[in-house]
Structure 1
């Protein structure tokens, strides 16, 4: 019984983790950013929690990715959390 509970918890954790681990950056791929969690009118925090967008641009945090989508009227999604494998030349400007 105890082993079944542990297996069930590990299965749930694995399912949650897979949702954030999509690596393909093609159109429609990646994880949708949770832009509703941020008040864009107040701006984004300076907390460095990098996300790599499906445009291969490194954003300092998810809020900044949402802000850039709003400003540019785009739908860049989260390719992966953390650094980009092949950063775009634009990455330097998206980290502000």
Structure 2
């Protein structure tokens, strides 16, 4: 019962706070990580289930992304599950 109350309060806090915590590259892109599913105070598992963040950094799992968001006071979202895709060599070429 106590854990349910803590979960509900944490979920409410995340819902109210996330609007102000967008990073420059993450606004409106990707999907929100399900941080309420993890007890971030106890750390994350070392299970490798990679996610690519909207900051184009690879996180070993969703919990680690959530923990980094909490520590850095950011809101990096999940760009895709799995490894980050390298940009096409033509995507950054200057046009003359």
Q: TM-score by structure 2 length?
A: 0.62
Say yes or no: does 1:35 pair with 2:35. yes
Provide the aligned length of Structure 1 versus Structure 2: 63
Give unmatched runs, 5+ long, in structure 1.
1-24, 88-96
> Structure 1: how far apart are the matches of 2:36 and 2:27?
22
Match of 2:73 in 1: 73
RMSD over aligned Cα, in angstroms? 1.6
1:5-57 superposed Cα distances (whole Å, 9 cap, x missing partner): xxxxxxxxxxxxxxxxxxxx752110000000000011000000000000000
> Structure 1: how far apart are the matches of 2:86 and 2:38?
27
SS in 2 for 1:79: strand
- Which 4+ residue blocks in structure 1 deviate beyond 2 angstroms? none
